[in-house]
Amino acid sequence: MKSLRDHFLRIDARSLGLFRITFALALIADLLGRWQWIRDFYSNEGVLPNHNHLFNLRGKQQVFSLFHAFSTVGEAHFAFSLALLVYALFLVGFRTRVFHVLSLLALVSLTSRNILLENAGNYAAIAILAFTVFLPCGSRFSIDSLRASLSLRDEKRDAELNDRSRAPDAEIEAERLPGWSPTSLAALAVLLQLALIYLCTALQQRGPAWRDGTAFYYALHVDRWSSDAGAWLRDAVPLGTLSGLTFATWGMQLAIPALLFIPGFPALFRWTRGLAAALMATHGLIIGIFFDFGLFGWALAAAAPLVVPGELWDAYERSWNEQRARTLVYDVDCGLCLMLCRLIKRLDLRGHVAFQGNGALDELLVRNQTGATEHVPMPKEVTAELVEQTVLAIDRNGRVYRKGAAVTEGLLALPFGWLALPLKLPGISHGLDVLYEVVATRRHRISVLLGKQACGIPLFDESHADGDDEGAAPGRPAPAVRTARLALGSLREAAVLVVLAAMLAQTAKENPLPGAGAIPQGPVLAGVASWPRMLGRWDVMAPEPPRINGLFVIDGQTRASQPIDPLTGEEPRLLPAEQQGTRLGQLWTDYLDRVRRPEWVDFQRAFRDYVAKGGPLSADGKREAALSGFDAYWVSAPIPAPGEAASGEVARDKVFSHSRGGTGRLVDGVPTLPSGRLRPNKPNKPN
């Protein structure tokens, strides 16, 4: 039962820490992608001013966004800067719970500022971030956990630095020390949310293209869906490879939920969860790299660490590579050096680094594969004069590195140490030596500024002689503290239950699941799901990709009678063949695909005003010349079946006109006359 509890009601603290890092990186990348269009989508100079957005949504959808308080482009830049700061502090794990909540608020606000931009990626990212906010994502790999660990053990000697024993689990759990993760329904809710995303997506992908393996072929030929990498893939690989990707992606979406909840012996959980994490990362990267679905693929890939079991982390920490083993010889009289050694110890998950003070140089301390330290002969070039001048890094072959090279070797011994390889390049390594000299000559002064001892750190602490172990964990908390924790934990579980019920009801409402109609959704649960935009629509490429490729084109003319499409800054491309290579990105394609539809017609007036003023800024930051008139078209053409040539059939549906219309030029001898409707059941007025 303990194994089942840990499997379904707990997430390893190391998995939570890695998830926080990967997910924060995905959020930052998403924010930077939106930033280039900040004027167009997040200011009153863009396609949807604040007042227009709120007025059109009044009484229709429940929307809340802090970005509605920022109107000008400068104010929007300020708001984005605050969001970036929040994401960055969540990334490094500073006051993690606070900035986790603020990151959720920032993502909801970005999504709700212009709901014509949202898609399944926003819904997935918000839901994952909302459920994990109830879990201690700062317990590992964070500034919070580092500060807690440094407070728990105050090492002063190399023997203490080389002591890698851990506090008992009971003490860790009692004091919320690094590595602690509670038993919580939030862990089960996270697993359920992930499983439902994959399962609902797969069940809705039931069209013929998914059965015959052509789904990826058609999806990658939809220009508003495929990324630059996807456009390359569809032309570079044969149909058989695309068919393999189709079946593999669909199969992964069914396999992942099964692996997350597969019944069996606890011994199997290590492998099923590890395989599920690998499939989640693979599936997410395929969707994220080859398609423009916003956060959908990247959020799922970033969530893969959540299902990595503790057994795999333990196996990783037990692994050992002799080539990465190093001994750091440091100045025992330098408080800054000791502080950096304590930091390296906590980053050295696999125990590759041994520490040795420069007070005794008769033998060299090295760490072996068992984690114990042993003594070997000291390299002859290591002298008392040398260790007074620089820190040293010594590998198992006796090679001695000094100054900047020693710093680089110490970093290479850590997890992800390969990121330090550029420090070995000529030029960079010389610059690192110069920087090292600047710091080393001032290390005692820096130690004082940091509140550390500048020199004379005692080699023997009298408190240890009296049996007072400063590194020991404190006793169990007082009864009042335990009672407060119990009350807060109960409130946490109650909140998780409400959000979980809202998620299940919303998922049943939006997706065709067996027995979904049996889950009621009252106004409270509906509000919990809709206000943060956890809408749970998992209909990506469902029931199958379209067989028609369509793009939004504006046929405009300047006051100098020059034809121009303000979205591209070039002449209007009214033929599908001309539009190849024109990619506006996920934000624009989602917006244009929605604004053309009758149900979003109320938002067209603001868009027409935006285009009439010149549309997006050009590459040099200048607005295109104001247009005297334009016609907006949805240009579409059938995607040829595999192995067939394009039919040449083209459909041009006019969405709306402004002023005297566009250029009115002929296309293949066919005049571009109105063929759509400006409003439902109302014919277009003549130009």
Tell how strand 627-638 and strand 563-564 pair up. unpaired
H/E stretch holding 143 reads helix 143-152
CA atoms within 13 A on the CB side of 277: 20
Chain-centre distance of CA 435, in angstroms?
33
How far is Cα 655 from Cα 631, in angstroms, rounded to an integer? 8
Looking at residue 133, what DSSP letter applies? T
**Maximum C-alpha span of the chain:** 99
pLDDT recorded at residue 462 = 42
Rounded to the nearest 10°, the torsion over CA 498, 501, 506, 511 is 160
Task: Tell me if 543 sits within 8 A of 207, measured CB to CB.
Answer: yes
Task: Tell me if 626 sits within 8 A of 559, measured CB to CB.
Answer: yes
- Which amino acid is present at 123? Y
pLDDT recorded at residue 576 = 57
Task: Tell me if 219 sits within 8 A of 546, measured CB to CB.
Answer: no
236's CB contacts (< 8 A; 6+ apart) are none
How far is Cα 509 from Cα 191, in angstroms, rounded to an integer? 20
3-state secondary structure of 534: coil
Strand partners, 548: 638
**Which of 57, 77, 66, 63 lies closest to 109, judged by CA?**
66
The burial of 472, by beta-carbon neighbours within 10 Å (0-12 exposed, 13-18 middle, 19 or more buried), is given as exposed
H/E stretch holding 173 reads helix 169-175
- Which amino acid is present at 240? G
565's CB contacts (< 8 A; 6+ apart) are 553, 554, 555, 556, 571, 572, 573
How far is Cα 533 from Cα 525, in angstroms, rounded to an integer? 12
3-state secondary structure of 382: coil
How far is Cα 175 from Cα 242, in angstroms, rounded to an integer? 52
**Which of 435, 452, 153, 463 lies closest to 332, judged by CA?**
452
Q: Where are the beta strands (DSSP E) in 86-168?
A: none
> Residue 309: left if φ>0, alpha if ψ -120 to 50, beta else—which one?
beta
Q: Which two tokens stand for residue 631?
A: 């016609």
pLDDT recorded at residue 166 = 65
**Which of 551, 578, 552, 548 lies closest to 639, judged by CA?**
548
How far is Cα 200 from Cα 535, in angstroms, rounded to an integer? 13
Positions of the chain with pLDDT under 70: 166-178, 263-266, 450-476, 514-518, 575-583, 618-625, 660-687
How far is Cα 664 from Cα 507, in angstroms, rounded to an integer? 47
pLDDT recorded at residue 306 = 96
H/E stretch holding 636 reads strand 627-638
The burial of 465, by beta-carbon neighbours within 10 Å (0-12 exposed, 13-18 middle, 19 or more buried), is given as exposed
**Which of 350, 335, 329, 338 lies closest to 409, judged by CA?**
329
How far is Cα 416 from Cα 262, in angstroms, rounded to an integer? 32
93 φ/ψ angles, rounded to the nearest 5 degrees: 75, 45
The burial of 336, by beta-carbon neighbours within 10 Å (0-12 exposed, 13-18 middle, 19 or more buried), is given as buried
Q: Which two tokens stand for residue 514?
A: 């067996």
**Which of 684, 681, 638 lies closest to 661, judged by CA?**
684
Strand partners, 303: none
Q: pTM of the prediction?
A: 0.89
CA atoms within 13 A on the CB side of 32: 9
324 φ/ψ angles, rounded to the nearest 5 degrees: -100, 0
Q: Which two tokens stand for residue 627?
A: 């247009």
pLDDT recorded at residue 265 = 64
Output the 3-class SS for 439-508. HHCCHHHHHHHCCCCCCCCCCCCHHHHCCCCCCCCCCCCCHHHHHHHHHHHHHHHHHHHHHHHHHHHHHH
What Å distances lie between residue 383 and 334, 392, 433, CA to CA?
Answer: 18, 11, 20
End-to-end CA distance of the chain: 74
Strand partners, 652: 635
How far is Cα 345 from Cα 150, in angstroms, rounded to an integer? 10
How far is Cα 12 from Cα 7, in angstroms, rounded to an integer? 9
Q: Which two tokens stand for residue 676?
A: 């759509």
pLDDT recorded at residue 621 = 58
- Helix axes of 96-113 and 13-35: crossing angle, nearest 10 degrees: 40
Tell how strand 363-367 and strand 373-377 pair up. antiparallel
How far is Cα 650 from Cα 198, in angstroms, rounded to an integer? 36
pLDDT recorded at residue 262 = 83
